[in-house]
Amino acid sequence: MSEWIDFGIYVVQLLLVCVFIPRQGSRFTLPAIADRNAEWLANHRDLATRLERNRRFVHFCYVWGAVSVVVLLGAALDFVRPPTDASAPKWEVLKDLHATSVIGLVLVWSAWALLWLRWLATHVPPAEVRRATLKPRVLSDYLSWPWRIAVEALTVLHLGAWVVIGALGLAGGARYWSGFALIVVMTALFAFVARSTPRRRPGYPDRIFGDEYRRVELRAAYVFRLVPLIPGGMLISEEAFGLDPDRVGHLLLVSVISAIAIVFLRLRPVSPPSAEFGVASRLGVQ
């Protein structure tokens, strides 16, 4: 398989996390404040204008993405080699460079988000009246039976394959069963998250995107329930059949995460945020 396939998959994800997601998120800064207290936002027009024009974090993400793509391209053209292991295959070099870039940006994202939430809680008092709904939320409202049955069946088959392969003596030992324990923990954790999603208290995204947000969120949670099949299949292939699926497994995992990100990016507000919270009229925006 050509390393340019790896390069293309990694570049797509870098574009998502460095360009499209930050740009999309920046559009909801003012609506997020208005959702907490629209009257406070209306009384601070100058601050609202500065926040709307502040693109420093978005530009930082653009630069991060551009540098990351250039470094990946240099590795694909053999201009960049790792200083620690010059004999590593090119696909592994690309994988490590991509992982380093994405993890680094996620850490920066997390720090920026914590600072933003701290600022919001410190400077913007919550409105006296908050909106809530008494409508019960159940799994069947958001996810059809075929989705749920398919995920449950694949999960049972996956875990069963581990037990059968071990019982037949095709694989075993401490590494095999510790890997199985890890897969069981991952499966249980993702199942808990999926089960908890319908009961999650509505937040700002729910008010912006309506019921479609929770529906997409729940579908993503059920897709993530299948993510343990990727490392599980990799471990079974290696332990039972002597294969090395690290490259294919990593590319598959990156592709799944990118596909989920694209689905969330396609969400559109049920009404314009300014109309929903009265931001435009209060701020004098046309």
In the 3-class helix/strand/coil scheme, how is the chain assigned residue by residue? CCHHHHHHHHHHHHHHHHHHHHHHHHCCHHHHHHHHHHHHHHCCHHHHHHHHHCCHHHHHHHHHHHHHHHHHHHHHCCCCCCCCCCCCCHHHHHHHHHHHHHHHHHHHHHHHHHHHHHHHHHHCCCCCCCCCCCCCCCHHHCCCHHHHHHHHHHHHHHHHHHHHHHHCCCCCCHHHHHHHHHHHHHHHHHHHHHHHHHHCCCCHHHHHHCHHHHHHHHHHHHHHCCCCHHHHHHHHHHHHHCCCCHHHHHHHHHHHHHHHHHHHHCCCCCCCHHHHHCHHHHHCCC
Look at residues 216, 211, 217 and name the one whose alpha carbon lies nearest to residue 270. Answer: 211
Residue 85 has a pLDDT of: 64
Give residue 281's pLDDT. 40
Closest CA to 61 of 97, 7, 17: 17
What's CA 247's distance to the chain center, in Å?
A: 21
What is the predicted pLDDT for the residue at 86?
A: 66
d(CA 95, CA 250): 8
Per residue of the chain (286 residues), give pLDDT as tens: 689 999 999 999 999 999 999 998 888 888 888 888 888 888 888 888 888 888 899 999 999 999 999 999 999 998 877 666 667 788 889 999 999 999 999 999 999 989 988 988 898 888 776 555 556 677 777 788 888 899 999 999 999 999 999 998 888 888 899 999 999 999 999 999 998 888 888 888 888 888 889 889 999 999 999 999 999 998 888 888 877 788 888 899 999 999 999 999 988 877 544 444 444 444 444 3
**pTM attached to this predicted model:** 0.80
**pLDDT value of position 131:** 57
